[in-house]
Amino acid sequence: MGIVKPQKNQGANSLVFKLGVIPADYASGRPSVKFDGESVASVRTYPYLSSYTPTANDRVMLAVVGRGLVILGKII
């Protein structure tokens, strides 16, 4: 599912990241993401950091935060 480098110890200080693409039909609001290895975009939409403005077709990195995901920004 696009995991960059999973940590063996999933303790409080472990970070897990996922990669994906914002769909071409994205217009505004919280975007859905088509995760690496999947053929369709998620039904769920994801929050993003204020320093990033989502755009259709952006390749993005997401961090697992608690039980959810947050878009960290565009991968260039």
User: Per-residue DSSP letters for 15-60?
Assistant: --EEEEE--TT--SSSPP-EETT-SS--SS---B-TT----TT-EE
| pLDDT value, residue 53 | 97
Spatial separation of the C-alpha atoms in residues 48 and 35, rounded to whole Å: 15
Residue 8 belongs to some domain of the structure: no
Residue 9 belongs to some domain of the structure: no
Query: Strand pairing of 59-65 and 17-21?
Result: antiparallel
Could you tell me if 6 and 48 are in contact, meaning their C-beta atoms sit under 8 angstroms apart?
no
Residue 10 belongs to some domain of the structure: no
* Average pLDDT of the segment spanning 67-76: 96
Reported as a single tens digit per residue, the pLDDT across 3-58 is: 555 545 556 566 799 999 999 999 999 999 999 999 999 999 999 999 999 999 99
Specify the pTM: 0.81
Pull the structure tokens for residue 52. 């990033």
Residue 32 belongs to some domain of the structure: yes
For residue 61, the enclosing domain spans 17-74
